Amino acid sequence: MNTTLRTDLTVGDICAGFEFSAAEGKGLYGWSGKLTIQPEYQRHYLYAERGGSRERAVVESVLRGYPIGLLYFNRVGDAYEVLDGQQRITSLGRFTKELFPVEDAQGNLHYFESLSAVQREKFLSTPLTIYICAGTEDEIKSWYKTINIAGLALNRQEISNAIYSGPFVTAAKKIFSNSLSPRLHLWRNYVRGDVKRQEILRTALEWVVKSSDDSAVETYMSAHRNDGDASELETYFERVIDWAQKTFPHVHDDMCGLDWGRLYETYHEKIFDVAELAAQVDKLYADDAVTDKRGIFEYVLSGGELTKLLHVRYFELSTIKTVYSRQTREAELAGKSNCPMCAAGKGSNAKRIWKRNDMDADHVTAWSAGGETSAANCQMLCRHHNRLKGNA
């Protein structure tokens, strides 16, 4: 990869011919048309949304002679795209277009045209520090991933969108990165994340590739890069959501952010009695021993197999001490091991008295079979036999 550092370009050069789309909330072109500032695959204009303080800070930095950091451009033929710095450039361009004012030391607001001629000239002639790179996709990718400046670091999906820009990303963003989508309200019951930061799109991609690895997501994006639509992605995502909604019609907050793609793949061919599932969910929600309510949904889908997902509460230490001394006293009187399973055997441990720390508390009637987490349903087993029994 070939990288060139340029320090000869000024704010005025880059802002020449600046175009901003108010409808889309993004800067479009600069550097007299040679530079695509914020290609459609890039982020929405976050600086202005955050009350404008960031974009003011960028302009005020330039006016005061402070550096605004490195900018990174990618050369594509004779044109350039901003890899990083689009928000700073858009701030500078918007200021020259009179779209917002800055504050001087006395607290007075000034639009660009109301600055003195000297200040305007100083602003426009400020040199920028720009790295321009040209290379293969892989080279740009690994280089781009190391860029982390300006306080608004790109997340991994924003980076992937930039690297695999094209018709597919454009189409996918129309579906998954559209905060006005009427479907979003429903999706939010199941998917966590910020629409504008591409987090719903990321989830959709992870589901369709059945993996959360960056490499799997990127392989898919690369393969579909030039697709004119994202219909496979959309159809699969809708199918998963539809299944989740039909399986658990009552929405719980804990459903949001579960790996519904994996749950769909694992369980969608099973036939469920939806009313029965709902009754089980309600019962588990009411059970204090279930400390991880998020595990309830897969637990009931698994037919009660995956008890570990619920993180069922262990016995209190006071209960353990009580049960241990009672059991040990009785065992000593009977001349048997204080582990009832050892005592029932004929091995060398049949008469062994275990120390408390060498034993584990066990539910006599398994929790999953309705057994309570109380002293009445607690027995101490040696480690070996507790593991052998193997349930909660």
Q: Which residues bind Zn ion (CB under 5 A)?
A: 339, 341-342, 382, 385
Residue 111 near residue 101, CB atoms below 8 Å: yes
Nearer to Zn ion, 186 or 341 (CB): 341
C-beta of 377: minimal distance to Zn ion in Å? Answer: 18
C-beta of 202: minimal distance to Zn ion in Å? Answer: 49
C-beta of 379: minimal distance to Zn ion in Å? Answer: 11
Nearer to Zn ion, 39 or 340 (CB): 340
Nearer to Zn ion, 65 or 347 (CB): 347
Residue 226 near residue 167, CB atoms below 8 Å: yes
Residue 110 tokens, joined: 């000034």
Nearer to Zn ion, 108 or 325 (CB): 325
The whole-angstrom separation of Cα 225 and Cα 202 is 15
The beta strand positions in 221-342, using DSSP E, are: none
C-beta of 376: minimal distance to Zn ion in Å? Answer: 21
How far lies 362's CA from each of 251, 331, 352, 377, 388, in Å? 34, 17, 19, 8, 11
The whole-angstrom separation of Cα 204 and Cα 181 is 15
Nearer to Zn ion, 208 or 382 (CB): 382
- Could you give the strand order of the β-sheet that contains 79-84, starting from the edge strand earlier in sequence? 2-6, 130-134, 71-76, 79-84, 35-36, 26-30, 19-21
C-beta of 316: minimal distance to Zn ion in Å? Answer: 22
Nearer to Zn ion, 16 or 380 (CB): 380
The whole-angstrom separation of Cα 124 and Cα 112 is 11
C-beta of 362: minimal distance to Zn ion in Å? Answer: 10
